[in-house]
Structure 1
């Protein structure tokens, strides 16, 4: 859940130029108290000068050599790119973690990038580090979403369930049934199922997947509400055929059917409602509707629409 400071910082950093330390510090200072930890952190890293491409390569070489000099070089490379972490972390605010926590997780990814950076490939360190920072943040979000607060007594029950299940599996040399587990725990099968349901660990939609882990599980979940391209085309064709079939009706008959079946706006009307719109009785509307439907049932007209029903 975002705090007001999280939202404020996100808005300020959106406007921050990472290449300008003074601008970064100025943007970080807006709207926050002087003792705010996020403000203090942003102000501190905003004073660290950025590196040139040649400086990055030199530090990478020293890191590769190892030893104390390599450790110092890694620290310098990481510190000079802390603002990159902030610019990436702000894009993930609102996904269940505080802004400062996102930054800390991103920093771990930055450190990993500094350790694995291959300067001989010719690309900038920031380009390489961005992937590691995003991976660290998305994994942390997934882990956070996977955490459930379970009452202490239920945790003990779940542990008992696991222990008994393992023992039964060993004794029976097979997977125990629900009835056997419930009997061993001295509870009903329905109660056992409730415990199992609580014990199940959910999978976060933020879980990184793919070889590069640059996609989220949620990207591949089908949206049942979304209309498929094939369905959309079918609906368009059906709409066109209905219009053509209804061309043989009188204007009043067409209007009555459109209102009764919601052909224009998806909202169906009662005989009473349509009658009020036309200033006639509901019985008169029923007669007009019946006559129009009889016309549509004629083989020459109904054949075109029957194809959609058969499909």
Structure 2
């Protein structure tokens, strides 16, 4: 993604109007044109990639405007959103039958959400801490599917083979802007950095691996928009990395509790569908 950032010009207040004018200058694409361009992009056609990006600049602006007032200026939101658009263009699979605007919107939201989350952190957490947080989040989702309810800290601790205190501390850190100096534990004498600074990251579990099956994808596509978007992000559907509750909320403009509610409702809907068997197998 760092290389992609070099491709995105800085969007300052002075240049916003020029960017808006440039976005309006490029016509929207038909479904047939999207497929044609996607096929050319697969073959390395850079001109096709540029055209797909330019035709969706208005999509970035539209999504970015919804995140105003959350900590980043509109120009910065657009810059983050452009990174998501570039990734969406690179990863778009026209064979799956999705409209690019649907797919692209999720990538743009994801990129903006990460930008907002990063701007709110005191420091970025080390990679090995993030990896462990992801492992815990993955186990939480899988257990929720298996048990039909939110798992307890003890159940998650047993699944990931980590002490329950560490699981609780990492889950809390993953929900709020964190510093390595943040005090954890009942005594609050130990910092998050002290707790796991010397730990080696375990291998990342593959989340949602079996959920990419066409049957489950179709079942998810039938869900209400909000529930569908939550599941796509939480379980890593349609090419996304699985996201924690807080990150999902940032990307969708929802509270963590609202994300929990929508995820629970979506899973209950799927539990009444025969595709739940595939969902359980994926977990």
* TM norm structure 1: 0.39
* TM norm structure 2: 0.42
Higher relative contact order (CA 8 A, sep 6+): 2
Q: Look at both structures and tell me which one has the larger radius of gyration over its CA atoms.
A: 1
